[in-house]
Amino acid sequence: MIELRNPERFLQTPDAVMFDTDNTLYHYDPAHAAAMAAVQEKVVKTFSISPAQFNAAFVAARQEIKSRLQHTASSHSRLLYFQRMLEIIGLGSQVLMALDFEQTYWRTFLSNAVLFDDVKELLDDLRLAGIPTVVVTDLTAQIQFRKIVYFGLDHYFDFIVTSEEAGFDKPHASPFQIALAKMQPKGNCIWMIGDNPINDIAGARDAIGAVTIQKMHDGVVAGTGENAPDMLLRDFSALRQVLKKTRSL
């Protein structure tokens, strides 16, 4: 299912396509919830604290790290969150435990992350059409690379740009501009597919004049006003049909 807000922007085949990762290629919330539950269980059992104490310490740690590091890749670091959480609990940095909790988080996260239907099929369509593709994603390179490999997408995308490489999270222009420089598209019709109306939709439109496609599913709110996308997309099979139609025009 799709909803075209600006159908005139889909009258030509894209020269390149950019993809967000988290909550765009897969549903983020269930994976995150499972990962946090696994870490909470381990922390509560290890240190004999209550779930409420864990939650309070983690929330405080996350807010502190994000406030300090602002819009950088490391502001998303689970390792830093867990290190600071342990310090807030009163246990010091506990480096080995912080590493263990981070590994527990990501191991559980990945085992509960499920790729949306037709992602690989869409990427195959783009590859066969000779249209370059790139992942433009926040967070550190190592974990985003791990996600791409876990999903079996490492041979589907031509390039990847993380906010660690770019120096800024989206919606800063830098990640989008670096992605364009890597792909070197032959024209200026660039599709950007993402879930976040500010970071992905407004960010890509402001930075590179992208044709914007917002991936919709439970928990995602459609962008409005200056954050409104050119298309609302619920399943990738529908976008495959839009791409096919552009190629026949």
On whether both 37 and 101 belong to a single domain, the answer is yes
**Candidate list 15, 20, 29, 125, residue with the active-site label:** 20
Q: Of 74, 95, 111, which residue is a domain's last?
A: 111
pLDDT computed for residue 247 by the predictor: 85
Distance (Å, whole) CA 57 – CA 92: 13
CA atoms of 164 and 137, how far apart (whole Å):
9
User: Into how many domains does the chain fold?
Assistant: 2
- Based on the domain organization, do 33 and 130 belong to the same domain? no
| Gap between the Cα atoms of 92 and 73, Å rounded | 24
The predicted structure's pLDDT at residue 49: 92
In the structure, what pLDDT confidence band is assigned to residue 249 with cuts at 50, 70 and 90? low
Catalytic residue among 22, 138, 169, 200: 22
Say yes or no: 8 and 44 in one domain: no
Same domain, 161 and 94: no
- Per-residue pLDDT of 130-175, as tens digits, reads 999 999 999 999 999 999 999 999 999 999 999 999 999 999 999 9
From CA 205, how far away is CA 200, in angstroms rounded?
A: 8
pLDDT digits (tens, 9 = 90+) for 15-60: 999 999 999 999 999 999 999 999 999 999 999 999 999 999 999 9
CA dihedral 74, 167, 109, 239 (to 10 degrees): 160
Q: Is 20 a catalytic residue?
A: yes
Residue 182 lies in domain: 2-27+114-248
